[in-house]
A and B are shown apart, each in its own frame.
Chain A
């Protein structure tokens, strides 16, 4: 037998290669979270929209509530992209006198991009024409990236200011709800007994108040605006979180590690915050994520009805409501805010699903 074919294994290297860093619970969750492509793209969309909501309004020279009455209803125009025939600041004008289309005193040179077939109505030659509205209004070097609204305000700036306000309302209310709900649920679940019974009865009463009634009353009392919406969202938005945290506390407070903590002399507050709460935090975060799109929806819903954020402040709902009047002639005024709100809500929902799966891999695919 020829032993020369065998060599001693490099034991050191072999041992080294199986050594990996131990994975903590949190890094494990993070790894699972980032493995999912849909979650990653949701995070990317949220980051992008948040970035634009913060820095978008500063990207051009227009202020969000600066009316330009000479430049109302301008179509979108973006430098560079305009060469490809989109966002080129043109609009199809219907039923114009055909003879005027060649008159440079009415339509400055080069402003008429395309003339559609001429037709005759009441003996007058009419034609539809695609016209560069920026040239027509003698604003050759002006660029409104997303166009302007009925007062000539820049829609790009207004869109991101509106997103900022919508996000602010949503995040503030969800933050308050999460904090209130966590404290309330922790107290209920930890102390139990009569305290629990009494406190949970309060949440039941709050839950049975119809949302429409709550909003209407708050609007009647405080008047329309951002703060009544936040207040209305906070009055009963926290009960779900409270119930969730309570259930977690009921589950964990009998565990050995709680007993151990108590044995070495930890007080109630320490057991609640340092020992039980970290175990309950996952579902709470998931729930908060899932609540954000709901808050965004309610904000824009009320604004859409004219009961929410008031002019001249923009919010996504205000922009959508403004755009609705012009839906058939200028769909772009509806399109951009509709896109932002839809992407935002889908992303937050996808993220909350991703979080839930990462926290509890056994429930994959249920959601």
Chain B
């Protein structure tokens, strides 16, 4: 298990490094980037030349960038969005809200999906498989921003159930309430995915010998499904979880915009349109890191759940 973990970690660190080099070279070498901006004052240009080493070879710039990022958490200075403010502090300020809505969405989607998946598998007689498939396909298919718009119009504007926009300056309770709709919009599709997958896997599990044994020793269908079936059904769910997590992360880009939440997604979009490339670069590194970390955790979970995977290094999966 330990060797397996080290192997996966090494592969992901390599990827991480590759992505950084790629992003850095694209942003620095591209014509028309922020450092060639003719509107830049000569003072700003001097600061840039000193800080970002513009004018020196790109590899040197890259080495310096990585050195400063690793040792001083210094990702450069924002030039357009928050002129003069270090990128790190811009991001530090935007990070919490993004983390909160992403984890809240995940924390809502997973239990909900598992609950509905078990219910759908056990209640196969009550509602037909077709209906479950259709409803879940609908939840998966309708884009999150359409769901968000519908929620904003019906739940917030027509019915007044929750605020339609994020309220950053309100008290704790009101502020959490204003996050309800964005989290719901983000959680719907992942919950549907979990439901559909889990239902299929649990129905699959019904035909196994160990489920027959569990029923034979007197467990109710519910207990059998929860105690024995879930363990079997959860393995194929793990790789989907990483996908789900990155989907939620990407989804929060647009959800943050719709509900005007000042998070990481907003910074990324704003920095691209404003060509604030130091900021773009740092946000991209952040997203890469989070995605790769999620992948690593999923690899570990898969290895822990299925010995075949950790022994063969994931080749059979």
- Of the stretches B108-116, B129-137, B205-213, B217-225, the one at the interface is B129-137
B246 CB contact (under 8 Å) in A211, A217, A297, A338: A211
List residues of chain B with CB within 8 A of the CB of A38. Answer: 130, 134
B288 CB within 8 Å of chain A: yes
Within 8 A of B (CB), among A316-367: 320, 323-324, 327-328, 331, 334, 338, 341-342, 345-346, 348-350, 353, 365-367
A38 to B133, CA, bound (A): 11
Q: Which residues of A from 214 to 271 have beta carbons under 8 Å from B?
A: 216-217, 219-221
Decide yes or no whether B312 CB sits under 8 A from chain A: no
A178 CB–B CB distance under 8 Å: no
Which residue on chain A has the smallest CB distance to residue B285?
Answer: A213
Closest to B251 in A: A301
Give B53 Cβ to nearest chain A Cβ, in Å. 20
User: Is A306 an interface position by the 8 A CB rule?
Assistant: yes
Least distance between A206 CB and chain B CB atoms (Å): 10
**Segment among B58-66, B70-78, B140-148, B179-187 that sits at the interface with chain A:** B140-148
Interface SS of chain B: helix, strand, loop or mixed?
Answer: helix
A221 B30 Cβ-Cβ under 8 A? yes
Residues of chain B within 8 A of A297, CB atoms compared:
143
Residues of chain A within 8 A (CB-CB) of B22 are 217
Q: How far is the CB of A162 from chain B (nearest CB, A)?
A: 14
Q: Indicate if B269 sits at the interface (CB-CB under 8 A).
A: yes
Given contacts A205-B15, A305-B269, contact A365 B246 (CB under 8 A): no
B186 to chain A minimum Cβ distance, whole angstroms, is 13
How big is chain B's contact interface, by range? Answer: 35 or more
Q: Is A212 an interface residue (CB 8 A)?
A: yes
Q: A212-B253, A304-B145, A306-B273 are in contact. Are A367 and B23 (CB under 8 A)?
A: no
Beta-carbon contact of A216 and B284 below 8 Å? yes
CB-CB < 8 A to B27: which residues of A? 220
| Cβ-defined contact, A367 with B200, below 8 A | yes
Which residues of A lie under 8 Å from residue B258 when comparing CB positions? 324
Which residues of B have CB within 8 Å of A365?
Answer: 129-130, 133, 203
Any B CB within 8 A of the CB of A208: yes
Contact between A327 and B272, CB atoms less than 8 A apart: no
User: Which of A208, A219, A305, A346 contacts B257, CB < 8 Å?
Assistant: A305
A338 x B146 contact (CB < 8 A) = yes
Nearest B residue (CB) for A345 = B141
Q: Which A-chain residue is minimally distant from B129 (CB atoms)?
A: A365
Contact A338 B272 (CB under 8 A): no
**Alpha-carbon separation in the docked complex, A362 to B111 (Å):** 30
Do A350 and B272 touch (CB < 8 A)?
A: no
Query: Least Cβ distance of B138 to chain A in Å?
Result: 6
27 A-B pairs whose Cβ atoms sit less than 8 Å apart in the complex: A38-B134, A208-B12, A208-B15, A208-B295, A210-B292, A211-B246, A213-B287, A216-B268, A216-B280, A216-B284, A217-B26, A217-B284, A304-B254, A306-B273, A307-B269, A307-B273, A320-B145, A320-B146, A324-B149, A324-B258, A327-B152, A342-B143, A349-B137, A350-B134, A365-B133, A366-B203, A367-B200
**Interface residue ranges, B against A (CB under 8 Å):** 12, 15, 18-19, 22-23, 26-27, 30, 129-130, 133-134, 137-138, 140-143, 145-146, 149-150, 152-153, 157, 196, 200, 203-204, 246, 249-250, 253-254, 257-258, 268-269, 272-273, 277, 280, 284, 287-288, 291-292, 295
